[in-house]
Amino acid sequence: MMTPGDLVATAARALRGNPLRSALTALGVIIGVASVVAMVALGRGAQERVQSSIASLGSNLVIVVPGAQRSGGVFLAQGATNTLTVADAEAIAREIDGIAAVAPSQRSGAQLVGQGVNWNTRVEGVTPPYLEVRDWKIAQGRMFDDREARQARKVVVLGQTVVDNMFPNVEPIGQRIRLSGGAYEVIGVLESKGQSGMGQDQDDIALAPLQTVKRRVAGRQGRADTVTSISIKAVSEEAVERVQEDVTALLRQRHRIQEGEADDFTVQNLNSIAATAQETTATFTTLIAAISAVSLLVGGIGIMNIMLVSVTERTREIGLRKALGARKGDILRQFGLEAVVLSCAGGVVGLVIGSLAAWGLTTAIDLPLLLGLDTGLIALGFSAAVGVIFGAYPAWRAAQLDPIEALRRE
């Protein structure tokens, strides 16, 4: 009876004796494992990017925007009507529990002029709590206060992208810029947030007092007290859904919407949006990984075919071993071990190549690289399983050979 050490030594000699054939046999497994590892890493990186991008908008955030409204039998698009007011925001802050801060805002676009540079950017008219609601911090200078907001002072806080383009070599605090025909003082610079989940540059922005933007930048669009959105920060993640329900009920009451009628506003919960985005990304990751795993099946078939050829080529060797006392179990274990070694070796090489490919791809498209220990263990486990499953039949064929007939073959 052959000892485990004898089996390993015999299998190793057989594989070293045909290095090219061994490499070609393992190629399918190498490609399969490398594809799965790279795709799973990309999927995880995409999930992390989506999560961090949505989180950058603000934690425990609920956003209210004007919703679809019927006009002449036709539903207008979301945000096409001015149905939200400053009074709505004040009522939300006053009447709903579980809210940390509320910030109405008025969005507009404008051309900024300063230091001989023109820059077109998004201008947001906001109230001072906006920074708390959106988890935004001041990198330089300060935010305007309640008094400046009430007086509609011409002050502005710039995003990092605007500063980089308008004041590349100048201290921005205290500088004057032209905005919609008026001169504004730069009093602060926002911390950089980078791109949002939709690819929008969140730092390409200018914040000014809400009433300043409504009166001097956006102009009168609808009623004078309307706003384009209301941002609400709940006190905790657990309170978000209840706040969303309470805001919906309060606004339906304030807007006199009857039961059965459609809302003229939309309440968005970013936690649920993040969860949906994560589920969608995870689904695509699983799908891509499953498609890549087909390469493992192809590699397994390749191992089986090559091992069958090896059995045919080594018929006399098998006959001689049996004539010298090797039993069917010894032959079965020898050829099975060769298949598993080939497959596991391919898995290790595929894991290294897949990790390098994942690093290159995530670096190229600016995604975080997330390669866990579980990915490597799963890849190697699948490789071993491929060797066992697809090496079983060739090993069985070898074990069933009659020693006398095997020795007669040339």
Strand partners, 229: 105
Residue bearing the bigger pLDDT, 270 or 220: 270
- DSSP label at residue 159: -
Separation of alpha carbons 339 and 104, rounded Å: 67
C-alpha atoms less than 13 angstroms from C-alpha of 406 in its C-beta half-sphere: 20
Q: At what angle do helices 373-400 and 328-364 cross, to 10 degrees?
A: 150
Residue 199: how many other CB atoms lie within 10 Å: 7
Name the band, by pLDDT with cuts 50, 70 and 90, for residue 70: very low
DSSP 8-class letter at 192: P
**pLDDT at position 79:** 46
Residue 370: is it exposed, middle or buried by C-beta count within 10 angstroms (0-12/13-18/19+)?
A: middle
* Residue 349's pLDDT band (cuts 50, 70, 90): confident
* Top-confidence range, 19-33, 82-96, 314-328, 371-385: 82-96
Classified as helix, coil or strand, 274 is helix
Answer yes or no: is pLDDT of 346 > 50: yes
Query: 116-129: per-residue pLDDT in tens?
Result: 889 999 999 999 99
The residue ranges of every structural domain in the chain are: 4-53+276-408, 82-263
**In sequence order, which ranges of 314-327 are alpha helices (DSSP H)?**
315-323
Report the alpha-carbon distance of residue 241 to residue 213 in Å, rounded.
31
